Structure 1
């Protein structure tokens, strides 16, 4: 006997892509807000355990590794980190979301007398692309890549 179909003929419920895009934007905003508050506390819930991070041509590994060995320690060297001219584009293709963020970030870097570094302000144009997946009803980042250049360049 040969089965003619593997489906029940039921259609998947329609997806409210606008609502899904807003939910994805909320994840991006939570991460951006944490960085501006100079903390990574609670950001692990925005990423899958296996999420991969790439920054300016470097492979940072999992988000946990990135926080422990790069981002977490780095934030301690900042007086402030602010985003401006922020824009996010979100494309939904359930259960996936593909995002592109553009922004200018400004870092007020603390002086480091041990390294002979004076306090300074750094401003860069940045872009981030991320892939998110909806898992158990929540959007999670599974890959993210950021890069930057001097703010004066186009």
Structure 2
């Protein structure tokens, strides 16, 4: 009976050790590379460089943005992003709170969560928005990351409050 109790306790400790520690550590080095890669993405977007932006997207990418779906980089470029970028003046786009997730060394799929800000002028309208973005990345044959899916949600930033006058 004592041997069974010892075996059960040992099995319990082993299971606890497996549950308490991840099977494989995330790849911090690859996550740092993705952050650097995203800096290039932001620079290309702010430069409104569609050719450079194309190098960041998988040809079959799906983009969920503004309540619509674009299937494929060419569709997104030609019918959504391209026309938008032409109209934007003084574009200022930034990704903040960027968190890449590479589940294990050698992973071919990763994801990024981030907050973004976007300021621009479009005709007579000032745009000042912020939102959330999730990107699913896949590794291409040459080992570079590509955006396979992107989903953003946005909200307008609240207008600045005018200072209130103190009553005498």
Which TM-score band applies after superposition, normalised by the shorter structure? 0.7 to 0.9
Comparing 46-55 with 84-93, which one deviates more in the overlay?
84-93
Quick check: which has more Rg, 1 or 2? Answer: 2
Match of 2:89 in 1: 79
Alpha-carbon deviation of 1:138?
1.1
What does the per-residue CA deviation read over 1:83-115, in whole Å, with 9 as the maximum and x for residues that have no partner?
357221111121211111102211122x3xxxx
The CA distance in 2 between the partners of 1:15 and 1:51, in whole Å, is: 28
Candidates 128, 134, 145, aligned match of 1:123? 128
CA contact (8 A) 1:53 1:144 kept: yes
**Counterparts in 2 of 1:85 and 1:52: CA distance versus 1, 3 Å:** closer
**Counterparts in 2 of 1:62 and 1:37: CA distance versus 1, 3 Å:** same
The CA distance in 2 between the partners of 1:130 and 1:85, in whole Å, is: 12
Match of 1:150 in 2: 156
**Greater per-residue strand proportion:** 1
**Counterparts in 2 of 1:85 and 1:132: CA distance versus 1, 3 Å:** closer
List alignment gaps of at least 5 residues for structure 1. Answer: 1-13, 112-118
What does the per-residue CA deviation read over 1:28-50, in whole Å, with 9 as the maximum and x for residues that have no partner?
22222111112212221212111
User: Normalised by the size of structure 2, how large is the TM-score?
Assistant: 0.70
Match of 1:8 in 2: none
Match of 1:139 in 2: 145
The CA distance in 1 between the partners of 2:109 and 2:80, in whole Å, is: 27
List alignment gaps of at least 5 residues for structure 2. Answer: 1-23, 160-168
State the 4+ residue runs in structure 1 displaced beyond 3 angstroms. none
**Greater per-residue helix proportion:** 2
Alpha-carbon deviation of 1:152?
2.1
User: Normalised by the size of structure 1, how large is the TM-score?
Assistant: 0.76
CA RMSD across the alignment = 2.1
The CA distance in 1 between the partners of 2:94 and 2:139, in whole Å, is: 28
Match of 2:49, SS state, is: coil
Match of 2:55, SS state, is: helix
